[in-house]
Amino acid sequence: MRNLLLIVVTLVALPIHAGEIHCKHLPFGIPEGTPETNDLVFRSCYVLSSNDDTKFADWVAYRLTLTEVGGEVALDRNFRADELLKPEETLEPEDYDGAFAAHTYHKGHLAPLASFKGTPYASEVNYLSNIVPQRATLNGGPWRVLEDAVRELVRVHRTVWVITGPIYDDGESALPESDEMHLVPDAFFKVIIVEEAGETRVAAFLMEQEIPGGTHYSDCLVTIAEIQALAGITLFPEMEAGLLAVKDEVWVAEWRRDAN
């Protein structure tokens, strides 16, 4: 009996290793380098890594096809706390009270609501774990135009993968009525990926909160390597190394032509 007890105790004490995780939203593996306390949240429309300290996602990844972008589902902005997270790990709608009047902050979607008109799960993007404070000139300007361009890419390429998230420096002004400790991002990134004739094409963008509203997204083009250095995250652990340094200005210039 004593030997059996020793065996059981030994087994319980052994570290448990998770198996491989496969997700349609992450074709190049799960991003690495986020805090161990982060929460990985899987939903039909996206997957995200929620940061307990900042109260915002460090990254949100989603796959778009014609099904998601082509529907006519009514889109309600029913913002709510993420039920999969503990109350102390995320914000609530009341935390955004007074944010626009004080700092022109909108509730900005990382996985955008308008990109999921074709799915009954569109309301998932209104969980506050997918929301960040964004200045009005950014949210309604170049960020929105880039989201529109991504939807047009889906109509051309049928499938598009996106990963997006915040960048922190000193942190922007806090939400004035929030009773939760949080850190408002200084900038945001978005990486777009398509497969074209067996070739992977990538485009990475970086937009600061204070960006002038008339800025075009093509002027915000950077490399994945630059974003990873700023975010401190390896976004694509299984991606070919050469793609991390790509700044495909020619391809991005084609987006305007394809949209016309």
Q: Is residue 18 part of a domain?
A: no
Q: How far apart are CA 14 and CA 171, in angstroms?
A: 40
Q: By C-alpha distance, which of 95, 132, 97 is closest to 111?
A: 132
Give the SS3 label for residue 148. helix
Structure-token pair, residue 17 = 């290793």
Q: In the prediction, which pLDDT does 3 show? A: 43
Q: Is residue 15 part of a domain?
A: no
Give the CA distances from residue 235 to residues 31, 164, 220, in Å, rounded to whole numbers and listed in that order: 4, 10, 19
Residue 106 is a catalytic residue: no
Q: What is the pLDDT of residues 58-68, one digit of tens each?
A: 999 999 999 99
Q: Is residue 8 part of a domain?
A: no
Q: What is the mean pLDDT of residues 88-99?
A: 97
The mean pLDDT of the chain is 91
Q: By C-alpha distance, which of 211, 192, 213 is closest to 203?
A: 192
What is the domain-level CATH number for residue 229?
A: 3.40.570.10
Angle (nearest 5°) at CA 131 between 221 and 84: 130
CB 192 within 8 A of CB 162: yes
Q: Is residue 14 part of a domain?
A: no
Q: What is the pLDDT of residues 32-43, one digit of tens each?
A: 999 999 999 999
Residues 6+ apart with CB under 8 A from 108: 131, 132, 133, 134, 138, 139, 143, 188
DSSP 163: E
Q: Is residue 2 part of a domain?
A: no
Q: In the prediction, which pLDDT does 10 show? A: 35
Query: What's the total number of domains in the chain?
Result: 1
Q: What is the pLDDT of residues 60-93, one digit of tens each?
A: 999 999 999 988 767 889 999 999 999 999 999 9
Q: In the prediction, which pLDDT does 258 show? A: 58
Q: In the prediction, which pLDDT does 4 show? A: 37
Report the range out of 66-75, 157-166, 247-256 with the highest average pLDDT.
Answer: 157-166
Q: Is the pLDDT of residue 191 over 70?
A: yes
CB 35 within 8 A of CB 53: yes
CB 197 within 8 A of CB 189: no
Q: Which domain holds residue 38?
A: 23-259
Q: What is the pLDDT of residues 104-136, one digit of tens each?
A: 999 999 999 999 999 999 999 999 999 999 999
Q: Is the pLDDT of residue 7 over 60?
A: no
Q: What is the mean pLDDT of residues 143-153?
A: 97
Q: Is residue 16 part of a domain?
A: no
Confidence of residue 18 (pLDDT cuts 50, 70, 90): low
Catalytic residue among 17, 25, 106, 109: 109
Q: How far apart are CA 176 and CA 83, in angstroms?
A: 24
Query: Sign of torsion, CA 80 84 86 89?
Result: negative
Q: How far apart are CA 203 and CA 157, in angstroms?
A: 14
Q: Is residue 121 part of a domain?
A: yes
Q: How far apart are CA 112 and CA 109, in angstroms?
A: 5
Residue type, 32: E
Q: In the prediction, which pLDDT does 214 show? A: 93
Residues 6+ apart with CB under 8 A from 14: none
Q: In the prediction, which pLDDT does 57 show? A: 99
Q: Is residue 51 part of a domain?
A: yes
Confidence of residue 257 (pLDDT cuts 50, 70, 90): low
